[in-house]
Amino acid sequence: MSDEEKVEVEKDGPSKSERKRQMHALQQLGERLVALPQAELDAINIEDERLREAIDQARRITARGGLRRQLQFIGKLMRSIDPSIIEAALQTRDQRHNNDVQKHHRIESARDKLISEGDDALGELLAIWPAAEPALLRQWRRQYQTELSKGNEKAHGRKLFRYLAGLEEADSL
């Protein structure tokens, strides 16, 4: 292609390859919507009724070929709307999920540290959650050894995790 032809293509709009990339991106956005749990899908404001019906229909399709065609149709419908609202809602959902995962890992880490280090980790836990009861945490730490010998360490660990998660929830309110 000569430089003049390239300039003409740029004036006419995006290239065919760029349009295909955009269509695939919209189709992938539609796939994410189809994969969402119903409650989360209902929370997203989808104003186009045809798009909403196409998503609901795709959720009921079990045949691979039919689902692929329906997803392509959803991508086509998404070209007629502004996808930024849906993208923003999905990004907010992803951020909330990532925050929940980080919180879960922080609680697991604190629980494991209390179990492995005992009273040495107690000060650190009390700094994170000042409302925690030190006597109760010490008692659970001591009980862990007996639960370990009985084979109930997982249930005991879950109990401690729920207590710490309750403290985390109380702090966030």
What are 90-145's pLDDT values in tens digits?
A: 999 999 999 999 999 999 999 999 988 888 888 889 998 999 999 999 888 888 88
74 inside domain: yes
Cβ 77 vs Cβ 51: under 8 Å: yes
pLDDT of the residue at 2: 57
Residue 157 lies in a domain: yes
In a domain, 115, yes or no: yes
| CATH code for the domain of 131 | 1.10.60.30
Burial state string for 124-141 with b = 16 or more CB within 10 A and e = fewer than 16? ebeeebeebeeeebeebb
- Taking the CA of residue 61 as centre, how many other CA atoms within 13 Å lie in the half-sphere pointing to its CB? 18
Torsion angle of C-alpha atoms 161, 162, 166, 171, degrees rounded to 10: 20
Residues 21 and 75 in one domain: yes
Instruction: Please indicate, yes or no, whether residues 112 and 55 belong to a single structural domain of this protein.
Output: no
Average per-residue pLDDT for the chain: 88
Range of the domain at 147: 97-172
Higher pLDDT, 172 or 102: 102
Could you tell me if 72 and 105 lie in one domain?
A: no
pTM for this structure?
A: 0.71
Same domain, 54 and 101: no
CB atoms within 10 A of CB 61: 15
**Cα 163 to Cα 2: distance, rounded to the nearest angstrom:** 70
What pLDDT band is residue 10 in, cutting at 50, 70 and 90? low
Tally of domains within the chain: 2
**Shared-domain flag, residues 165 and 101:** yes
| pLDDT over 80 at 1, yes or no | no
Domain contains 62:
yes
Band of residue 52 on the pLDDT scale cut at 50, 70, 90: very high
Last residue of a domain, which of 81, 105, 120? 81
Q: What is the pLDDT of residue 99?
A: 95
Whether the predicted pLDDT of 48 surpasses 60: yes
